[in-house]
Structure 1
């Protein structure tokens, strides 16, 4: 499995990117990966939407006195225009590195947002579908913004069997509920499948995505008749 196909790695990177803590070359490298992989963009967009309220929840920051002094020197304004912050909070911020205080505020706000949004509807879903041998992988993401399922897959990863077509399924958490046959897939990278609002709502009860090989000379069935070649649990983002 490639490094950036491991959810334990790319979800941490996406969260760090959304929070702004991923900096320098690492951030530029992650942006290039987002341009290449649909699932990375979907995961990052989901975290950015989840953390969007942080901008309004963060308290106003008073820059340390040395910052105002540097600005005054750079603009050659003189001592009379230098603004001196007052109060114990300003003195504390002057003593501590600004980044430490900012990080503490962000961390506290993140926890608040996570608690407030714990029961809200997710912005996206994702499933990492693996073959039975776990030798290959397909990442499927569903975004509320785009209302479509996007598949990130290597070229020719789906089997090419005569008379058979790869078919996408949603498997409910409740095993008593019928499976959802979503449609057939083309054997190429960048496949997208549109969904409607009804399907989006039903995803809350879906526990797994799967792809099976179905015979083309038979009517569509309500469950796989052929071999399941990829499957994986669905997770809300």
Structure 2
């Protein structure tokens, strides 16, 4: 199948591949096509670039004071280990000096300089490793645990909004993928589309490139799709439902944490 001849399907598969919701055999087939077809590879890279900016939304976290105590303890343990290695290395040198009658002072001093350099390098390597580990731990702690994800597109299947739900912070995070902006007297409003029920408002979107809305898993459970409508400035009450045109819509996918 020449997937490049079906741009809507290609864009949807590339978005799911970048999000990690394309799995198993489907993901392997997509990767094989990306290796062989430049348009498929370009679509995947485009979506990965769009989603890469989400990491910039996370606030900085100051390490706990206990971190520095742990670094100090690791350095001392490294220095103690180096000292034991020096003692073990010095014993054969003293034995050779006693056998040949050659003073070992010069060799000892040279070895001491080497050991000091090795100890310093080991300590620096330990600090770097600990800091890198702490940074990774901070990233894991602050990165949202995405439970639901949706890519909302217009009637031409052009992706315009990425929606994710973070259950740790009870937040919906929306990131603009297109350039659409409502007029000064209009607002975009997000709606849940439950099966067999009336649309339910999830909030009014701000004007920034990334928007966060308070939500709960109960608001999204058993909701197969989301939509965004164009409404009067400030939005409309939930019970009225959308009063303006629906600009973007798409399925809501639940993924395993």
TM range (shorter): 0.3 to 0.5
| Structure whose residues are more often helix by fraction | 2
Larger Rg: 2
Length-normalised TM-score, structure 2 = 0.44
